[in-house]
Structure 1
Amino acid sequence: MRDHPDAIDVAAARWVARLDRAPDDANLAGEIDRWCAEHPRHAGALLRARAVWSGLDAADARIVARPLFSRRRVLTVSGGLAVAAAAVGLIWLETHSSLGIETAVGERRLAKLEDGSTIVLNTASRTRVRMTPEQRSVALDDGEAWFAVAKDYARPFVVSAGDVRVRAVGTAFAVRRYLGRAEVTVTEGRVRVWSVAAPERFVMLSAGKQASVADVSGTAETVVANAKPADSLAWRQGEIILDGMTFGDAAAEFNRYSTRQLSVDTQLADRRIVGWFRTDDLDGFARAAAIMTGAKIERDGTDLRIVK
């Protein structure tokens, strides 16, 4: 096992998925113990994964999702579960029908599929899932999602984001849909990315790589770049990590997570911002950014504006 944090977290989630299906399997328990002994980070990752997945057991319930269900059907976990405070919904999908899963602004949701795969949806996202004997398909209509895919060579896992397609067998990757394109970030394994506009042209992305593919031009103009998954996918833990992002882009990123909006004076928009913040802490970010840039905060109802 590599020491990469994302790879460790993916492996931990898969161990917990297997344990959920076979809690009394002594051989499996032994395998998990040996994995935990391989590296100091493994045991901590396993504890985090079990904390997230235990939400269903804590409520002593299991959700069987039905076609295009509403958010009100999602299990709400009461009590002091740490991840509940981060607005994570827990869903278990056990059907071969077409399903709709969506999140509201500022909400995240974790879905466990019947094949052992996991989907984590980010804020204001909408997906449709279809599981058949031939293929596992997810249409990402809006927003962003991270996928930890269970290995099944007989059934490829294909994500559609507009005209962009991402195909995997057993790997982990994120897809963000915006402005007629899809941004793909791989955290484990490899994926194949192409557009229906030019299916003969495709790119292979390996762990730690990222590409933005346009619907119209496909991969013809795509540049594969090194990614920082721990930063760009920090939203899975309800965090935003800024490492030199422009003030304008940082404000736009925070606006994705709130019905309240933050605007930035054009004189400040190109300033660089560094810091770690919660996705639900718009006020905290505004205060810190104003201090960093020597600006001030103006209020317009519930909205904020940072001016010179």
Structure 2
Amino acid sequence: MNHTSLSAAEYDAITDAAAQWCLRLQAEDCTAAERRAFEQWLSANPLHLQEYQAMLEIWQTADHLPRSVPDNVVPLPQRQRNHWQRFATAAAIALVALPAGAWVGWEQGWLPNSYQHLESNGQLSRVVLGDGSEVELNLNTELRFSNYKDERRVTLIKGEAFFKVSHDSQHPFVVHAANGWTRVTGTQFNVWKYDDQVKVTLVEGSVLVSSDGQASDSSYRLGPGMQASYKAGDYEPRLSQTYNQDNSLAWRSGKLILDNQSLAQALPMINRYLDKPLLLADASTGSIRISGIYNTSEIKRLVSALPKVLPVYLTRNKNGNMVLNRISPPAKG
């Protein structure tokens, strides 16, 4: 079936079916026969999978679904309208399953009036968010933006982004990354995420950073030129001051700058550009230091070039990862 020839009614029917399956598969009494029927429906048309995945994505933006769309919700731009229509369809279908009081809505701050899912793969990109803020995405970055009544919410799924947040003291802008969050009302800052590691760099204004997702009384305020680093499970972030030679934002010019860093420190910055992470054979290999300026679009070439500039050689483990091994210096006679 060529979905470009589908009528609006046929397309809506697929969207409705995706919403119904999304709801039914989460039910405790969903049977094996129903799951087989779902698999058959999914394989019948590539558009079925596309709509089902879009539905799941939208459901992740809220913990509850509303009875109806409030009258004061601002109309969305055309490019976001399909996501909103799917959300509204899912909400309407869910009414029959959700207990009274399980839904809230826009007025209670659960339902967004603007939603964007952004990804950058082979190139840097710049996007204006629904609230007017700007975000620059590094390579291989993915994030979600939802504009709620009480806050503007970003989830950085992977990668790195630089934010220029439009000021609104009554409508804070919150970036969730790993277990922590960064909260601002209007400023410029960078958030880097690799696996469960996060680094926040403030350029202008001030931000609050928390590493454990708790209330604001467990957060730390950064001033311009400061950084906060944490990983999932940390009780509090580690704070530091940046200097003129700090290279955290070099990616905005397509560069990765390593300045006499150990391989253990450099690998997370290198690996975020690779399909499979480069590994260290041991702590001794990790202590070797590296410097240089590299194009972020050519990091794979950097990996193959490392044995030419460092006392290391490459092997491959059983999982297909490249492994750096130290070449031991000759024994002293």
Bucket of the pairwise TM-score, normalised by the shorter protein: 0.5 to 0.7
Corresponding residue to 1:148 among 137, 140, 164: 164
- Kept in 2: contact 1:66–1:99 (CA 8 A): no
Residue deviations 1:11-38, cap 9 Å, x none? xxxxxxxxxxxxxxxxxxxxxxxxxxxx
Looking at both structures, which has the greater relative contact order when contacts are Cα pairs under 8 Å and sequence separation is at least 6? 1
**What runs of 5+ residues in structure 1 fail to find an aligned partner?**
1-61, 70-94
- Residues 120 and 218 of structure 1, relative CA distance in 2, 3 Å threshold: farther
Corresponding residue to 2:310 among 268, 277, 293: 293
Query: 1-side partners of 2:201 and 2:276: how far apart?
Result: 28
Other-structure match for 2:330:
none
- Residues 214 and 280 of structure 1, relative CA distance in 2, 3 Å threshold: closer
1:185 aligned onto 2:185: no
Query: 2-side partners of 1:185 and 1:135: how far apart?
Result: 21
1:139 aligned onto 2:155: yes
- Residues 107 and 259 of structure 1, relative CA distance in 2, 3 Å threshold: farther
- Residues 273 and 188 of structure 1, relative CA distance in 2, 3 Å threshold: same
- Kept in 1: contact 2:280–2:324 (CA 8 A): yes
More strand by share: 1
Other-structure match for 1:225:
240
- Kept in 1: contact 2:274–2:300 (CA 8 A): no
- Residues 286 and 143 of structure 1, relative CA distance in 2, 3 Å threshold: closer
Note the C-alpha offset of 1:276: 0.4
1:3-22 equivalent positions in 2, closer than 5 A:
none
User: What letter corresponds to residue 158 of structure 2 in structure 1?
Assistant: D
Query: 1-side partners of 2:118 and 2:272: how far apart?
Result: 18
- Residues 134 and 239 of structure 1, relative CA distance in 2, 3 Å threshold: same
Residue deviations 1:182-236, cap 9 Å, x none? 32211111101224335422210011111124554543xx331013585122222
1:63-102 equivalent positions in 2, closer than 5 A:
64-66=79-81, 96-102=113-119
User: What letter corresponds to residue 280 of structure 1 in structure 2?
Assistant: S
Note the C-alpha offset of 1:289: 3.4
C-alpha root-mean-square deviation of aligned residues, in Å? 3.4
User: What letter corresponds to residue 269 of structure 2 in structure 1?
Assistant: E
- Residues 162 and 152 of structure 1, relative CA distance in 2, 3 Å threshold: same
Note the C-alpha offset of 1:245: 1.6
Other-structure match for 1:161:
177
Query: 1-side partners of 2:173 and 2:277: how far apart?
Result: 36
Task: Tell me which structure has the larger Cα radius of gyration.
Answer: 2
User: What letter corresponds to residue 241 of structure 2 in structure 1?
Assistant: N
Q: What TM-score, normalized to structure 1? A: 0.59
- Residues 231 and 115 of structure 1, relative CA distance in 2, 3 Å threshold: same
Query: 2-side partners of 1:206 and 1:225: how far apart?
Result: 11
- State the aligned residue count: 219
- Residues 282 and 166 of structure 1, relative CA distance in 2, 3 Å threshold: closer
Query: 1-side partners of 2:267 and 2:231: how far apart?
Result: 24
Other-structure match for 2:15:
none
1:242 aligned onto 2:258: yes
- Kept in 2: contact 1:286–1:306 (CA 8 A): no
Query: 2-side partners of 1:180 and 1:261: how far apart?
Result: 14
**What runs of 5+ residues in structure 2 fail to find an aligned partner?**
1-76, 85-111, 328-333
Residue deviations 1:42-86, cap 9 Å, x none? xxxxxxxxxxxxxxxxxxxx98345669xxxxxxxxxxxxxxxxx
- Residues 162 and 264 of structure 1, relative CA distance in 2, 3 Å threshold: closer
